[in-house]
Amino acid sequence: MALHQLIPLMAIGPEVIALGVLGVIVLIWVIGTYNGLVRTRNHTDESWSGVDTELKRRYDLIPNLVKTVQGYATHERETFERVIEARNRAASNSGSPEAQARDENALVGSVKQLFAVAEGYPDLKASRSFLALQEELTTTENRIQRARRFYNANVRDLANRIETFPSNVIAGLFGFLKREFFEIEDSSQRAVPQIDLTS
């Protein structure tokens, strides 16, 4: 490069250099924030697949549980049909977490009814296959709860990144959307315990 070509470059003032450095810093921040949002979104999607896997595991167990109870309680046909119908509806739902939670709540309620039916049959409650299925279903329910908590924590983290300044600017520019929480209600956990103070 000739000397006469370097002279215009040397004439660049400190203000221009400062603006250039500031522009590079802003660009690095935009890229870093965008990549962080993508990672959080992907982590949330991955954690949803963990919930989905555990739900499918439960769907696979329920028909075996119904068959085992049917062997002892043949006249409880309406209960069996409700359980299978709720299971099929939940298994076929691939909508939003909120829509799936509604079907999961119905399924959990019908399975509780199935266990209530089993309470009336001592031979069934002592059956090795029933006990094994009951244990497997309990383990699966615990795994669903862990996966649900992990997913919901990721949904919260994504929402925080989307809603807080300054990352909300990048989230808005690139169309990042919040995810829905997956809440399976258990009315027994939300019930207020009754305390009798008169005794």
Domain boundaries, given as residue ranges, for the chain: 22-185
Fold of 22-185: de novo design (two linked rop proteins) (1.20.1440)
What is the Cα–Cα distance from 93 to 103, expressed in whole angstroms? 8
The DSSP 8-state label assigned to residue 155 in this structure reads: H
Task: Provide the pLDDT confidence category of residue 2 given band limits of 50, 70 and 90.
Answer: low
What is the Cα–Cα distance from 130 to 72, expressed in whole angstroms? 11
Whether omega for the bond prior to residue 193 falls within 30 degrees of 0, making it cis, is no
Residue 125 pLDDT: 81
Mean pLDDT of the chain: 86
Residue 18 pLDDT: 87
Tell me the percentage of the chain whose pLDDT exceeds 70.
87
Mean pLDDT of 137-150: 94
pTM value? Answer: 0.78
Task: Provide the pLDDT confidence category of residue 161 given band limits of 50, 70 and 90.
Answer: very high
Mean pLDDT of 95-114: 90
Residue 11 pLDDT: 60
Task: Provide the pLDDT confidence category of residue 9 given band limits of 50, 70 and 90.
Answer: low
